[in-house]
Chains A and B, each alone.
Chain A
Amino acid sequence: MTIPTEQNGDKKSDGPDPLRDDRSDLSALDAKIRARVDAHKRKNPEPAETGKRATAIGMAFRLSTELVAGLIAGGIVGWGVDQVLGTKPWGLLIFFFLGMTAGIMNVFRTATAMAAEAAQEQEKPNHKVGEQ
């Protein structure tokens, strides 16, 4: 939302301050648009609803990959430990379970962050009109 000032440089002599005029005009328009959008949103809340459902799929996918990634990372580390130390099955076994723990921890963290985000959005539903 930055207004390029150098373009208006030559017009400055017309009025007292055309740039400020423009800006207050724009902000008045912005307020008007926002009021309209809010009114529209109050009347038909479906678009927000479908948007939420789409992100719900995204959330589910995020959580599941988080869990799987923990497992894979643990497996790779365990396999690497086995290769270096020659402790054939034990590294993989132990780190597989540690990886599972890490995955669950990641899922828990992500879910907590998501819940906090959702709570924050519910507090002030009228903001964030143009977001996402």
Chain B
Amino acid sequence: MSTTADVELGNAANDGAHGGGGLGIDPMHQFEVQTIFPINIGGLDASFTNASLWMVLAAVAISIFTVFAIRPREMVPGRFQSIAELSYEFVANMVRENTGSAGQPYFPFIFTLFMFVLFSNMLGMIPYSFTTTSHIIVTFALAAFVFVGVTLVGLAKHGLHFFSLFAPKGLPVALLPLIVVIEVISYLSRPISLSVRLFANMLAGHTMLKVFSGFVVGFIGAGGLFAGLAIIPMGAMVAFTGLEILVAFLQAYVFAILTCIYLNDALHLH
């Protein structure tokens, strides 16, 4: 893991350097899950970790934001109320445009999903924080929940007719078995693509930021003329931080809109 990404420049050690390469900076250290207080349920390790902490923080932040932002209930909204109303409208429009009126009952779920992913991504942009969405198990849990939920909605609404989703109309009977198998695999690949996309984006972005910050520390550590060169990776970092904030929003948006599209497929069956 630490071959290409490990940065060993200068003699600058940071708090994250541990064993291994001596004085290098490990850009993957930020993704380590650390136990805060251990919980053991019947031999199962259910400890409260930094990942759990930041998920709780995301949930708390969303609750505080949505509850207190709309507290004033002004006709002409203030800043926070405006943000809350905009995010509500943004998701409401997304649900309406992608699923029609049939998808309206699922709005609370999609809003929650969008806000959770958005806040997890954004909280991850705070230095020294932990990005929960950079762990595949977190994003896969979300995606699996969406996948199972959408499938159950489709089955509840259409019964066994739901499986016609896998057999496109006007297909020669000879091709049917092959196409059905491919369609089923394509359907099963949905939670994988949904989770891998979010996880890979966050992991790659945060690793890149840490690698560049390693360059800055290394250059300054080298001293003399090299210290002046630190401005180059520093500038790149500033630009990447902006890009990462965009990616954080965009990935939350993509996650929510794909959930809407999948829900629409289950509700309307092509």
Q: Is A93 an interface residue (CB 8 A)?
A: no
Residue pair B186, A70 in contact (C-beta under 8 Å)? yes
A85 to chain B, nearest CB (A): 15
Q: Which of A1, A3, A77 contacts B185 (CB 8 A)?
A: A77
Q: Which of A1, A74, A77, A105 is close to B89, meaning CB atoms less than 8 Å apart?
A: A1
**Contact, CB under 8 Å: A69 / B182:** no
A97: min CB distance to chain B, Å: 10
- B69 interface residue (CB < 8 Å to A): no
Q: Assess whether B75 is in contact with A3, with CB atoms less than 8 Å apart.
A: yes
- The range of chain A's interface size is 20 to 34
| Contact partners of B181 in chain A: CB under 8 A | 98
Contact of B182 among A58, A72, A76, A102 (CB under 8 A): A102
Q: Which residues of A contact B250 (CB under 8 A)?
A: 54-55, 58
Least CB distance from B47 to A in Å reads 29
Asked whether, in the complex, the Cβ of A61 is within 8 Å of the Cβ of B201, the reply is yes
* The one of A7, A58, A61, A69 that contacts B189, using a Cβ cutoff of 8 Å: A69
B23 at the interface (CB under 8 A from A): no
Q: Looking at the complex, which one of B89, B189, B253 makes contact with A73 (CB distance below 8 Å)?
A: B189
Q: Mark B180-214, 1 if CB is under 8 A from A, else 0.
A: 01110110111011001100110000000000000
Given A54-B250, A73-B185, A98-B181, A7 and B192 contact (CB-CB distance below 8 Å)? no
B residues in contact with A4, CB < 8 Å: 73, 75
Instruction: For A132, give the chain B residue with the smallest CB separation.
Output: B253
- Least CB separation from B85: chain A residue: A1
Specify which chain A residues have a CB less than 8 angstroms from the CB of B189 in the assembled complex: 66, 69-70, 72-74, 99, 102-103, 106
Query: How many angstroms between the C-alpha atoms of A99 and B188 in the bound complex?
Result: 10
A82 CB to closest chain B CB (Å) equals 15
Per the CB 8 Å criterion, the residue count for chain B at the interface is 22
A interface majority secondary structure:
helix
Report Cα–Cα, A9/B188, bound state, in Å.
53
9 contacts across the A-B interface (CB closer than 8 A) = A3-B75, A7-B75, A55-B250, A66-B189, A66-B193, A69-B196, A70-B193, A73-B186, A132-B253
> Which residues in chain A, 43-70, are within 8 Å of chain B measured between CB atoms?
54-55, 58, 61-62, 65-66, 68-70
Which of chain B's residues have a CB closer than 8 A to the CB of A66? 189, 193
Further pairs besides A69-B189, A98-B181, A99-B185: 7, Cβ < 8 Å: A1-B89, A65-B200, A68-B196, A69-B193, A72-B196, A102-B185, A105-B182
Query: Are B254 and A58 touching (Cβ within 8 A)?
Result: yes
Q: Which residue of B lies closest to A94 (CB)?
A: B181
Question: Which residues of A lie under 8 Å from residue B254 when comparing CB positions?
Answer: 58, 62
Q: Whole-angstrom distance between the alpha carbons of A54 and B254 in the complex?
A: 13
B89 partner residues in chain A, CB cutoff 8 A: 1
